[in-house]
Amino acid sequence: MSSQAPPSSSLSAAAPGRPKRRRRRALVIALVVVVALAAVAGGVVTRLARGGGDGQLVAPSSPAVLAAERARPTSGRTVTRTITARPAKIDLGGKTVTTWTLDGTVPGPQLWVQVGDRLRLTLRNQLPVETSLHWHGLQLRNDMDGAPGASSSAIPPGGSFTYDFTVPSTPGSYFFHSHVGTQLDTGLYAPLVVEDPVAPRDDDTDAVLLFDDWTNGLGRSPDQVLKDLKAKGMAGMGGMAGGSGGMSGMDMGGMDMGGGGMSTLGADAGDVAYPAYLVNGRLPEAPYVLQARPGQRIRLRLVNAGSDTVFRFGVGGHRLTVVAADGQPVRPVDVDTLQVAMGERYDVEITAGTGVFPLVAAPEGKDGMAMAVLRTAAGAMPNPADRPAELNGRLLSYRDLSPAAGQALPARAPDQVITVRLGADPTDYRWTINGRSFDDSPGDPAASHPSELRVHQGQRIRLVFQNATMMSHPMHVHGHTFAVLAPTSNGVRKDTVLVPPMGTVTVDLDADNPGQWMIHCHNAYHAAAGMMTILSYVS
Ligand SMILES: [Cu+2]
């Protein structure tokens, strides 16, 4: 019964941004809660193990995985590509940086495929370190998921690997990115659009707008950011434990009440203040320009490839009709603005006015702005310093979202209810799931992980994400689409959901794609610091 109410819910936002002392007290309280809950975490894991049984792990290339792949409809078409991961000098629009790229550009090359296509994409690794590509949101075969530590191995420097799978999912907006360390924050990502070969859409123009928070080459490297966060320990988690002393001061100082005003994400909208924010790899001073004609119906595919930033999107002078969430069609909803968390995608449609309009992605709770431009007539470029009124208009909430006709997860009682408690280790910059950081788990994909969540193929699984921290966490489940239950939403299908500070979000999924799948926070720094586990199919 997917209409069944979740066990608990506290969706109210935490106290809005305040001076550090206030927030520090709130964090102390949160951490006391975390420590108290940690005491029972072991019990949770034990129950899960019993619930899931003690069978063998269903390995990433096991017969069950291959059978699921063979059952996928095919188009008969094969799309063959080669992409090279390599360092390159890129122009962000007046500022040039050297970073890691896919094929020398940021974002990497857009990929458009159709449902049922066989994608054979060879990644050549010319980076000095190992890397991978993860197919974010696709319900693909497990051994092609590109998630080292769960389903596959990383590609060593100088090596290559051919991702070879049938494109499985609902037509929609996806992306692919490195799933190694903090490489997401270096620019190793690109949009992926899955098209429906049968049903034509009714829009005239279709464009991807990919948002990112950028530091590499302008500020610290992502590895340095992580090192600094770890060196600061809890200070990096929001001002705990003695403050940041002589550190860069970037992570906390002054960002709570940034240009965006009050954050809806609680007092602590992020761990990193970025020197720049980009749309399609461009700074607002030299933006990506979308050319269209007045009156055209335009589909904008919004992708947040950022590592530590939720963006609030709006179009000057336009309302938005939300038509898809995480690639899944929804009943259309009209809003002025919406938040896109890390790893989330939304398709929105607008009817283009006459003139030049800002397409704005404001980093929630942080200073700065990302902007692209819609041009349908002559006129001056928008000023990136101007914040369109739409950003303060009607804001989309998950509660507004319900699946389009035929897209709902069929009602069924869950076979297992699994608690996924999101926490923090108070002694270090370590983020946890059910009391454990992923990096104290074995790296061998064949081995069992202490925190894994065991399921059987064919089960209906209910995941209850309980956030015991003062930050929001965009939780992403690989290889599956879940239904977000009431009261958070009306069953919208997604693969990434933002769990608010101290809040609970309940989702249901069908365990219909066997293998070993990561579940993790899509904040790249939280994931790198342990907020990951495995949805582990066992026989
Ligand atoms: Cu997180």
- Domain shared by 413 and 493, yes or no: yes
Average pLDDT score over residue span 330-351: 98
CATH at 296: 2.60.40.420
Distance 221 CA to ligand 1 centre (A): 20
- Check whether residue 302 and residue 375 sit in a common domain: yes
Residue 216 clears pLDDT 80, i.e. is over it: yes
CA of 472 from ligand 1 middle (Å) equals 6
Q: 520 and 411, same structural domain?
A: yes
Residue 151 pLDDT: 87
**Residue where one domain finishes, among candidates 400, 432, 454:** 400
pLDDT beyond 80 at 441: no
Q: How confident is the model at residue 427 (pLDDT cuts 50, 70, 90)?
A: confident
Domain residues for the domain of 364 are 276-400
Query: How high is the pLDDT of residue 245?
Result: 28
Give me the pLDDT at residue 233, please.
76
C-beta atoms surrounding 476 within 10 Å: 24
Per-residue pLDDT, averaged over 292-316, amounts to 97
Contact 185, 274 (CB under 8 A): no
Q: Is 257 inside any structural domain? A: no
Is residue 48 domain-resident?
A: yes
Confidence tier at 202 by pLDDT (50, 70, 90): low
Task: Compute, in angstroms, the gap from residue 449 CA to the centroid of ligand 1.
Answer: 20
Question: In this structure, is residue 258 part of a structural domain?
Answer: no
pLDDT at 236: 58
Residue 328 bridge partners (DSSP): 325
Centroid of ligand 1 to alpha carbon of 391 (angstroms): 24
Using one digit for the tens of pLDDT, what is the confidence trace for 361-376?
999 999 999 999 999 9
Spacing, Cα 497 to ligand 1 middle (Å): 11
Q: Are residues 428 and 393 part of one domain?
A: no
Whole-number Å distance, alpha carbon 529 to ligand 1 midpoint, is 9
Q: Are residues 106 and 159 in the same domain?
A: yes
How far does residue 292's CA lie from ligand 1's centre (Å)? 37
- Which carries the bigger pLDDT value, residue 5 or residue 400? 400
To 5 degrees, how large is the angle CA 172–CA 176–CA 179? 140
The position carrying tokens 């464009």 is 207
Lowest mean pLDDT among 235-244, 332-341, 355-364, 452-461: 235-244
Segment 129-134 shows an average pLDDT of 96
Is residue 271 in a domain? no
Given 348, 366, 400, the domain boundary residue is 400
Ligand 1 centre to CA of 131 (Å) is 22
For residue 126, give both structure tokens: 């010319």
Do 375 and 351 belong together in one domain? yes
Statement: residue 102 has pLDDT above 70: yes
Q: How many angstroms is it from 532 CA to the middle of ligand 1?
A: 9
Residues 50 and 90 reside in one and the same domain: no
335 in a structural domain = yes
Does 350 share its domain with 468?
Answer: no
CA of residue 475 to ligand 1 center, whole Å: 7
112 and 192 belong to one structural domain:
yes
Q: Does residue 218 lie within any of the structural domains?
A: no
Whole-number Cα distances in Å, 482 to 328, 409, 495: 10, 8, 6
CA of 102 to the centre of ligand 1 (A): 26
In a domain, 118, yes or no: yes
Give the residue, 186 or 33, on which the prediction is more confident: 186
C-beta of residue 290 within 8 angstroms of C-beta of residue 373: yes
**Mean per-residue pLDDT, 287-301:** 97
Please tell me the total count of domains within the chain.
3
Q: How far apart are CA 322 and CA 330, in angstroms?
A: 8
Give tens-digit pLDDT for 470-528: 999 999 999 999 999 999 999 999 999 999 999 999 999 999 999 999 999 999 999 99
Rounded to the nearest angstrom, the distance between the alpha carbon of 469 and the centre of ligand 1 is 9
Cα 526 to ligand 1 centre (Å) = 5
- Hey, is 374 helix, strand or coil? strand
CA of 422 from ligand 1 middle (Å) equals 8
Residues 61, 162, single domain; the answer is: no
More confident: 450 or 534: 534
- Whether 347 and 394 share a structural domain: yes
CA of 206 to the centre of ligand 1 (A): 31
Predicted confidence band at 266 (pLDDT cuts at 50, 70, 90)?
A: confident
pLDDT digits (tens, 9 = 90+) for 397-410: 999 999 999 999 99
Do residues 222 and 183 touch, judged by C-beta distance below 8 A? Answer: yes
Q: Is residue 242 part of a domain?
A: no
Q: According to the model, what pLDDT value does residue 237 have?
A: 63
From ligand 1's centre to the CA of 538, what distance in Å?
27
Across the range 7-35, mean pLDDT stands at: 31
Residue 170: which pLDDT band, with cuts at 50, 70 and 90?
confident
93's tokens: 């629009």
Query: Residue 297 C-alpha to ligand 1 middle, in angstroms?
Result: 36
On whether both 411 and 396 belong to a single domain, the answer is: no
347, 368, 400: which is the final residue of a domain? Answer: 400
Given a cut of 80, whether residue 51 has pLDDT beyond it is no
Closest of 55, 189, 2, 78 to residue 514, by C-alpha: 55
Distance 177 CA to ligand 1 centre (A): 18
Output the pLDDT for position 28: 35
Query: How many A from CA of 380 to the centre of ligand 1?
Result: 40
Q: By the 8 A CB rule, do 529 and 441 touch?
A: no
Could you read off the pLDDT of 55-73 as tens digits, one per residue? 789 999 999 999 999 999 9
CA of 428 to the centre of ligand 1 (A): 15
